[in-house]
Each structure stands twice: as C-alpha cells, then as structure tokens.
A = this chain, B = another copy of it.
C-alpha cells in the first residue's frame, strides 16, 4: 500500500483495455485488463474504462484521492488538446470525450496521447531507448505505427499525432494501401501484408507448415503462426518476412535521414515473434539507405516493454505534461 501520489496509465486497444497504477517512482502497484467491447458504443465504453481503472485501484489498494493524473494511450485520430477520440474505426466510436469523462470520474487531470506515441515514450523513459536525445519508434502490426520522442517530448501535429511512417512510399505506384494511396510501406510490409502474402504462398504449396496451422485463414496467420512457419522451414514465408523487413528498413532509413535519431526502436508482435530476423534485416536495409554520414550515429534495437510500453508511457507522459515539463 502506497500513501503518496499515484499515476494511472491506460491503454485503450481495439480488443482489450489495460489500466495500471504506478507510484511516483513508476513502480507498478496494481493493474486490470478487460475486453474493450467497442461495439457497445461510446457511453458504455467510457463507463467500462472508468470501471477498469477503479478495478486497478482496488488491486493496488489505492484511494481515488491519491491519483495525481491519468495518462491514456488511444488509437487515433485524436484531438490531443481537447482530449477527444475523433473517430476510431476499430471501436466504431465517434467524438468520444474521454479526457473530460475521466477528469469528472476521478477528479484529477487526464492527458491523452496516441497509443503508438505512448509506446515510444514508454521505451524512451523506461525501456530500450532510455534517455536518448531523439528516438524513432516503429511498430509493425496490422498497420505500421511510428512515433518520435525528440528531446524529451513527443512530436505531434497541430491537432493529432504525426509520424505516419507506415505511409511512406517505398514502391512508386505500388500496391493499394488502406489509406487510399499506393506503395506505402504499410501496404507491403505490415503484419497483414505479410500474412496475406504468406497465405498465398501456402495456397501455392510453398509453405506447408503454415498451410497446416492456418488452414489458409487470414485470422490464423498471426505473428506467432508466421514465426512458427519460419522456424519449421517454410522458406517462402521467411523470404516474405525478410523482404518486408527490408522495405521497413527503406522507410526507416528515409526517416533517419530526416530526423537523425540516436535510437530506432522496433516493436510490435511481429518483431517480438521474430526478433533476430527482423532486427538483422531492418538494420541492414537502414544502413544501406541512410546517407553515409549518418552511419554510426544511431542504433536499431528491439523494444523491451512489450505490451506494457503504452500503459507505462501514457502514465509517464501524463506526469510530464501535468507537471509542466512538456
């Protein structure tokens, strides 16, 4: 039981939500994870968020009154200043006033940030990029998310988050992307792009292990299934993953030429499932793409905090903002 001020970190995901309670040194005191159930609508969803935080407080044996602030990592697009989820396709929500609701429920300030930005900030404060001057984070998943912490602050747009590295073009007139443009790295190197290409290979008889484990169902071709397939010797799948990692490296290299980070952090399920292969290919490809004068000025590392990056980063960032340092 802690008697000092505590900070709440919250990660609002498409399928699950996670609340954690931290003391002022960011030691974890308690947590609660629940399913998100976005389809139940905004009102039920906000109530569910409040209840989840209450359950985490109970787990931590902490009173509401001890909360110094709440940080929320949320899927975009957001209105960062107003604290509103503008439109979250994965949840089906529109204009959810999440910050106001939480400030009302808990009587303390709340800060929202993009979920990827929160994760990058988490790695900067507590993880693989601790204390770096400039961190570029890249998280290949269903899409490819990016974020940048520059001299201690999350780089942001006027209203919402930026660093859309998944929408850097790597193939002129390439495959159609979910955003409506062509040749974005996300269209050819996200987990979804890799999974669908791998299933096509399996259909053609080039990936027998993957065929057996997924029965050619896209939903089954998760990161772990892809990693198992590579481990079992499905060479076609390995080649697809390597090619995707190289495209990611091109996008990262272009971004390094712009932002000059000290550390590039790669995270997400795919990187966790295939860390060696991913780090190796992305690093090589980045080194081939950056201007020679940038070589040796940055490192490419794997994220350390896994699923905790967003919740820790959201809490840490909220404290910086609330205490006026960011």
Contact = CB atoms under 8 A, between A and B. Distances in A.
Contacts of A291: 164, 167, 179-181
A147 to B, nearest CB: 10
Given A155-B150, A181-B288, A291-B179, A258 B169 contact: no
Contacts of A297: 157-159
A165 B258 contact: yes
A165 B289 CA distance: 13
Contacts of A255: 258
Given A164-B257, A165-B258, A167-B257, A77 B158 contact: no
Interface residues of A, number: 42
A98 interface: no
Contacts of A257: 162, 164-165, 167-168
A292 interface: yes
A199 interface: no
Contacts of A262: 158
A290 B181 CA distance: 8
Contacts of A156: 260
A44 interface: no
Nearest to A177: B291
A262 to B, nearest CB: 6
Interface string A54-90: 0000000000000000000000010000000000000
A254 B159 CA distance: 19
A29 B258 CA distance: 36
Given A291-B179, A293-B77, A260 B157 contact: yes
A134 B150 contact: no
Contact of A258 (B163, B171, B179): B163
Contact of A170 (B77, B158, B172, B288): B172
Contacts of A162: 257-260
A284 interface: no
A165 B255 CA distance: 9
A250 interface: yes
9 residue pairs, one from A and one from B, having the closest CB atoms: A157-B260, A162-B260, A164-B257, A168-B254, A167-B257, A179-B291, A167-B291, A180-B292, A133-B158
Given A169-B254, A179-B292, 16 more contacts: A134-B157, A146-B258, A150-B150, A150-B155, A157-B260, A157-B297, A158-B262, A160-B260, A162-B258, A164-B258, A167-B254, A167-B257, A168-B258, A172-B250, A181-B292, A258-B259
10 contacts: A133-B158, A150-B155, A155-B259, A156-B260, A158-B297, A162-B257, A162-B260, A167-B254, A169-B254, A255-B258
